[in-house]
Chain A
Amino acid sequence: MNILEKMKKSFGADESKIKILDNELQFKLKLNISDKTFKYLNNAKNLQSMMETLMGGGAVAGATYFGWVSSLGVAGQLGMAVGLVATPIGLIAIAGGLGVVSTYTVKKAMNKVDKEAFTKIPTFINTPLDILAINIFHSVAPVAVKIALSDGHFDKSEKEHLIYSLNSLWGFDKKFIEVELAKVIASSDEYSFLTLKDHIGEAFKKNKDIDTYSLRMELIKLAWEMVIADEQITNQETIEFDALKTALLGCD
């Protein structure tokens, strides 16, 4: 085995060790997912069928992977696919609407797509729940990071609080949080509350049964916790927090 093959083997093994959720029941509780829906989401056998439903049926070729991902933004389709109606589906809509999966999953997926492959899913995505979790992580974390960085630095206490929230309250795996947070921090300059507002507005308009209020309150609550995490409230933090509130509360 030459060094290139050793490297591929070594890094490939790493990927299979990635775990998105450390406590799936905590995640279920946080999203108020019903038992029936949770059972569906947590069944690996449903990954392919959910994907096909989102794609409008038929097999999914590697080249059309982006289409599958972008379709996650359509809350109605996802709702139909997994039977979600009374859960806070707004999170799912916004998560998909922001296209956040494409920044993480698809690039990895596309790298792994074999020429002959029909459908290739990254090894760490095992169930529809994993897809949902990745999307939700990338909807929640950027808001907190943006607020935390508004005074120019990501304080240790802010980071610890965010990791605690995402791990203990949301059920995300700590290693996953650390790896993903590094990416969120690196791209925080490009993140805008106005984009978030637009997506929430769109989701609300198109899907009347979506509970975006609870989502907005959840994001505002987390943002405020980030403001006070380092026990110092700076002007910049106040300005950013107000901007977030204006953006989120102006969605109606």
Chain B
Amino acid sequence: MTKLLIENPKTFKKKSIDINEEQASVIISELHDEVLTDEAIHSTLNNLDIPAELKVILSQIKSFTISVGNTIVKIGRRILELLIYMIKENPKAAQGLIIGSLLGFIFSTIPVIGWALGWLIQPLAAILGLSLGYIQDIKDETLKRNIKSAVNDAFDSVINIKT
């Protein structure tokens, strides 16, 4: 067995979950690659037309990591890479709506991430003026489907791990 360690960056509470070797290997291989450089993430976020408070929240998400055995997995970074990708691929959709929906969906469906970052839902809702439904706020069915599919695909290796 391998230990998967999560730390809530607000409360500093830690949680240790036992996963098997195969699961550990899949998580590391799927989430280890960096798709964008730090600079690209930084400059893209800086140029988004969103409130400064939201940029602060996104930078907090970026630094979120989990440990799988002795390997640090930058899962927060992958969340932002996916976010930037969805914004880029959906230029007609409001950036705030994509951010709120995608993060809301991730926090509510992926326990490993939701346990650590779920506390961000309230400030996100306040800043974006979205209801707590998030994904339900999207009227465009294709976009909604794309977000769900992208999140499920991107976090396939951790989606079923219970906390």
Contact = CB atoms under 8 A, between A and B. Distances in A.
A63 to B, nearest CB: 18
A182 B35 contact: no
Contacts of A103: 39
Interface stretch (B9-17, B19-27, B81-89): B81-89
Interface string B73-86: 00000000110010
B82 A7 contact: yes
B47 interface: yes
A82 B95 CA distance: 46
A183 B43 CA distance: 6
Contacts of A11: 35-36, 40, 85
Contact of A3 (B40, B46, B82): B82
A251 to B, nearest CB: 30
A178 interface: yes
A107 interface: yes
A99 to B, nearest CB: 15
B42 A8 contact: no
B88 A10 contact: yes
B154 A3 contact: yes
B49 interface: no
Nearest to B35: A7
Interface in B129-163: 149-150, 153-154
A111 interface: yes
Q: What does DSSP make chain B's interface, helix, strand, loop or mixed?
A: helix
B47 A3 contact: no
B37 A111 contact: yes
Query: Range of interface residues on chain A?
Result: 10 to 19
Contacts of B36: 11
B156 to A, nearest CB: 8
Given A10-B85, A10-B89, A186-B46, A3 B153 contact: yes
B39 A107 contact: yes
Interface in A91-114: 103-104, 107-108, 111
Query: Range of interface residues on chain B?
Result: 20 to 34
B154 A111 contact: no
A186 B37 contact: no
A207 B85 CA distance: 47
A10 B85 CA distance: 8
Interface string A69-82: 00000000000000
Nearest to A104: B39
A179 B82 CA distance: 20
Contacts of A7: 35, 81-82, 85
Contacts of A4: 30, 33, 35, 153-154
A186 B153 contact: no
B81 A182 contact: no
B152 to A, nearest CB: 9
Interface of A: 2-4, 6-8, 10-11, 14, 103-104, 107-108, 111, 178-179, 182-183, 186
21 contacts: A2-B153, A3-B149, A3-B150, A4-B30, A4-B35, A7-B85, A10-B85, A10-B89, A11-B36, A11-B85, A14-B88, A103-B39, A107-B37, A108-B37, A108-B39, A108-B40, A111-B34, A111-B37, A178-B47, A183-B42, A186-B42
Q: What are the 6 A-B residue pairs with the smallest beta carbon separation, nearest first?
A: A3-B153, A182-B43, A7-B85, A182-B46, A7-B35, A3-B154
Given A8-B35, A11-B36, A11-B40, 16 more contacts: A2-B153, A3-B82, A3-B149, A3-B154, A4-B153, A7-B35, A10-B89, A104-B39, A108-B40, A111-B34, A178-B47, A179-B43, A182-B43, A182-B47, A183-B42, A186-B42
